[in-house]
Amino acid sequence: MSLRATVACCGRGGSPSWSAPIGLLLLLLAGVAGPSPVRATTAATPLPSAVRPVAGRGVRVGTGAGLALQLHADRLVLRPEAGCTLGQACASEIELAGAVSVRSAGLQLRAGRVAVSLDARGRPYRVRAVEGVVMQFGARSGRADELVLLAHPRRVTLRGNARLEHAEQGLALRGSWIEVDLENGAVIVQRAEVALP
């Protein structure tokens, strides 16, 4: 898989970090060191204390295929789909919480909680952010209660008290939801209020 996780592991005096493929991360999350099957549960699986993030450093995750992402958060939980064993290629979800930041090809996003959906090959195809969502894409900036970013088509949707501003044009849009096509720049607004310069 192309997904890797990097977690700060040392005290104030050191700067080493822990980096491993997501398969090894599954082993650590499950607390096993061998090929024993790991079953997903509905409860969150916290990081073991040996790799728990140090305050102020957090968890960093990068992906290199599908929807290329750079993620940073205070806490990470990996949830394989129900019934998946460690040797299987399964869809899964990464949940990030606490001052989450996301970067993806010019898009920058901050939120309190983010969920990244991965396909069976470990490629991100959907990002959902909630709690104080703020985004920046070129000259556009937006705020909403919820944001959904899709890989195909590459599109972002702001929902709930959605607001989108274009700094260069002085344009401000408000609506119940706003959809932006990141490929061609098209914008669709439901129940729109438009403020022109």
CATH of the domain at 99: 2.60.450.10
Residue 195 has pLDDT above 80, yes or no: no
Burial 152-170 (b: 16+ CB within 10 A, else e): eebbbbbbeebbbbbeeee
Mean pLDDT calculated for residue range 18-46: 33
**How many angstroms separate the CA atoms of 27 and 14, rounded?**
25
Residue 197: pLDDT band with limits 50, 70, 90: low
Q: In the prediction, which pLDDT does 40 show?
A: 26
* Domain count of the fold of the chain: 1
Q: In the prediction, which pLDDT does 157 show?
A: 95
Looking at per-residue pLDDT, the higher value among 18 and 118 belongs to 118
Mean pLDDT calculated for residue range 114-140: 91
Q: In the prediction, which pLDDT does 20 show?
A: 38
Residue 190 has pLDDT above 70, yes or no: yes
Least confident stretch, 12-16, 37-41, 130-134: 37-41
Q: In the prediction, which pLDDT does 48 show?
A: 36
- Of the ranges 34-38, 65-69, 87-91, the best mean pLDDT one: 87-91
Residue 176 amino acid letter? S
Residue 52 amino acid letter? R
**Peptide bond just before 153 cis, omega within 30 deg:** yes
**How many angstroms separate the CA atoms of 171 and 187, rounded?**
12
Query: 9-31 pLDDT, tens per residue?
Result: 333 333 333 333 343 343 333 33
| pTM of the predicted model over 0.75 | no
160 within 8 A of 142, measured Cβ to Cβ: no
Domain span holding position 187? 4-195
Q: In the prediction, which pLDDT does 119 show?
A: 86
Q: In the prediction, which pLDDT does 156 show?
A: 94
**How many angstroms separate the CA atoms of 32 and 183, rounded?**
43
Q: In the prediction, which pLDDT does 104 show?
A: 87
Mean pLDDT calculated for residue range 40-58: 38
Q: What's the maximum distance between 2 C-alpha atoms anywhere in the chain?
A: 63
Q: In the prediction, which pLDDT does 58 show?
A: 61
